[in-house]
Amino acid sequence: MKINLSLNILFGFLLLAFTFSATAQELPFSKASITVSPAMKQSFVKGGRLFIHITKLNDKEPRAHSEITIGITTNNWEATDKLVIDKRHKNYQSIGLNKWKGNAGDKYYYQAVYKQNIDDAQENIPGNLYSDIDSVILSPGSNLSISINKIIPPFEIIDHKFVKTVIVKSELLTAFFGRTRKLKAAILLPASYYDHPERSFPICYRAPGLNGRYDAINGQLKNKAFADWWFSGIAPQVIYVFLDSQGPYGDTYQVDSENNGPCGKALTEELIPEIEKQVHYRSDSKMRFLAGRSTGGWVALGLQIFYPDFFDGTWSYSPDPVDFEHYGLINIYKDSSIFYNRFGYLQPGKRTIYGEPTYSMKEWIEAENFAGRTNNYLISGGQFGAYNAVFGPKGNDGLPSLMFDPYTGLIDHAIAKQWEKYDLKKVLEKNWSILGPKLQGKIWIWTGDMDGLYSNVATRFLKTFLDKTENPRSDAKISFTPMAGHTAEWSDQAVLKMIAEKVANK
């Protein structure tokens, strides 16, 4: 069975939709017995996190859609042992149990996933193990029998004349982690590429949204409207590169960090040179661009700021917070907690475009605590696990230092202070005399003014700073659409057309 990114994204969103429990609720079954099949014993890695997904629905795999999930870190489980989970266990966590109201005769489907890939913090990704789907009339007296008998295969990139796949061993990241690490990208060539082998085409690096992978190119080409336009002859003749954000703690944000290693250096000194060698791009043409939305929007803007001479322009849609005094609605440098605001109310983390809070920061972190094998958001692979690893220092145990307590939300301001070097507004404020001239004509940002993650607030304050700059006065183009939500106006076509216009006006 081919597993693609949509499963992982769907599961991530479903996690956020339920009510969470930081402690164990009463199990909906008497016991679950889990074994590793003989075929999977060689692939099994000790110390992973096991999830049992349970659902009434039979239209999708439970691991992609579940009303109930049980999670447990299996530090002492060997591939040759049977793992039994029952009411005697106190160290499991759950999602959805406190909402479960089973009725006699209700049939449920269940499936297990064993999250073991230490180079990727996501669940439904290559290298992790899982079971077949089974069913049961669920009750507190039910017994589940599960065999972990499948492994998620590597991502596959579409076989197409106009697609190139680049995978290189990163010497920089391999040295940092002490084990082989690879960098990946997928390249979509313009329709006239083979007609002009001597030409150096403009090139755009597309940073994915949170935890996006380079196989996003598959969906792009399966989108008939986009594919018809791309090969019609009227689309801009731009090389479009799909980056990959895989990291051991979640999205790497493509920048150097204490926990993820020299990701920015590896990107600019190892991966991009290999890509451009393969497509015959000439760096002296000064047509190397960036684009992205959400997390990819932050990456596109951040890379332009951290490498102002290397990249020649960026298009950033709904970037993650670019100012940590407005990290959503939180000031990480002054507020005491991310769970409660200064008025003592639950801090909202999400809202509708009409301003209705839908999800609190407390619930968000409880969800990430569930996903990580450390029983907190440290290795959750989620948004805040990724932030923490990218922006924060390494702890004494070799893992990222937590900027806030996973159970109380209290902020450690000594660690928050160390996030400043990734606070894009502060970076610009401190270095404008150097960065300002290098960034002229290179920054384009769009944000909806009712961003569902409140990221527009930080972008507003960034604009306020840039509007007041001198020597030079910033010419960054930053626009806001009233009543628009997160990434609402993102369009690959629109970005590529703006790049073509910029190239034509050089």
Query: Which residues have CB under 8 Å from 161's CB, separation 6+?
Result: 194
**Residues 363-406 pLDDT 10s:** 999 999 999 889 899 999 999 999 999 999 999 999 999 999 99
What pLDDT, on a 0 to 100 scale, did the predictor assign at position 18?
A: 38
Q: What 3-state DSSP class applies to 350?
A: strand
Residue 290 burial (CB count, 10 A): 30
What pLDDT, on a 0 to 100 scale, did the predictor assign at position 24?
A: 54
Q: Which domains does the chain have, with CATH numbers?
A: 5-151 (2.60.40), 163-323+424-504 (3.40.50.1820), 325-421 (no CATH)
CA nearest 391: which of 431, 349, 423, 429? 423
**Residues 43-61 pLDDT 10s:** 999 999 999 999 999 889 9
Q: What 3-state DSSP class applies to 378?
A: helix
pLDDT grade for 6, boundaries at 50, 70 and 90: very low
For residues 236 and 495, give the distance between their C-alpha atoms in angstroms, rounded to a whole number.
10
| 38 Cα distance to chain centroid | 33
pLDDT grade for 26, boundaries at 50, 70 and 90: confident
**Residues 185-197 pLDDT 10s:** 999 999 999 999 8
DSSP string, 93-145: EEESGGG----TT-EEEEEEEEE--TT---SSSTT-EEE--EEEE-STT-EEE
Tell me how far apart the 2 most distant CA atoms of the chain are, in Å: 73
Higher pLDDT, 228 or 18: 228
Burial profile 140-158: b = 16 or more Cβ within 10 angstroms, e = fewer: eebebebbbbbbbeebebb
Adjacent-strand bridge partners of 95: 20, 69
Q: How do 129-131 and 143-151 pair as beta strands?
A: antiparallel
What pLDDT, on a 0 to 100 scale, did the predictor assign at position 138?
A: 87
pTM summary value: 0.93
Mean pLDDT for the chain overall: 93
**Residues 267-312 pLDDT 10s:** 999 999 999 999 999 999 999 999 999 999 999 999 999 999 999 9
Residue 471 burial (CB count, 10 A): 8
Lowest mean pLDDT among 19-28, 458-467, 479-488: 19-28
Residue 453 burial (CB count, 10 A): 20
- Per 3-state DSSP, what percentage of the chain is helix, strand, and coil (rounded to 5)? 30, 25, 45
Contact 122, 130 (CB under 8 A): no
For residue 269, what is the DSSP state?
I
For residue 1, what is the DSSP state?
-
pLDDT grade for 504, boundaries at 50, 70 and 90: very high
**Residues 207-260 pLDDT 10s:** 999 999 999 999 999 999 999 999 998 999 999 999 999 999 999 999 999 999
CA nearest 386: which of 23, 2, 12, 4? 12
What pLDDT, on a 0 to 100 scale, did the predictor assign at position 15?
A: 39
pLDDT grade for 506, boundaries at 50, 70 and 90: confident
Residue 469 burial (CB count, 10 A): 18
For residues 5 and 351, give the distance between their C-alpha atoms in angstroms, rounded to a whole number.
25
Answer yes or no: is pLDDT of 9 > 60: no
Phi, psi of 234 (to 5 degrees): -100, -15
Answer yes or no: is pLDDT of 3 > 70: no
Question: What mean pLDDT do residues 447-451 have?
Answer: 98
Question: What mean pLDDT do residues 124-145 have?
Answer: 94
pLDDT grade for 104, boundaries at 50, 70 and 90: low
Name the helix (H) or strand (E) containing 187.
strand 182-188
Both tokens of 153, joined, read 């295969």
Report the percentage of the chain scoring pLDDT > 90: 86
Q: Which residue has the tokens 């060689």?
A: 42
Contact 95, 72 (CB under 8 A): no
Burial profile 299-311: b = 16 or more Cβ within 10 angstroms, e = fewer: bbbbbbbbbbebb
For residues 123 and 15, give the distance between their C-alpha atoms in angstroms, rounded to a whole number.
12
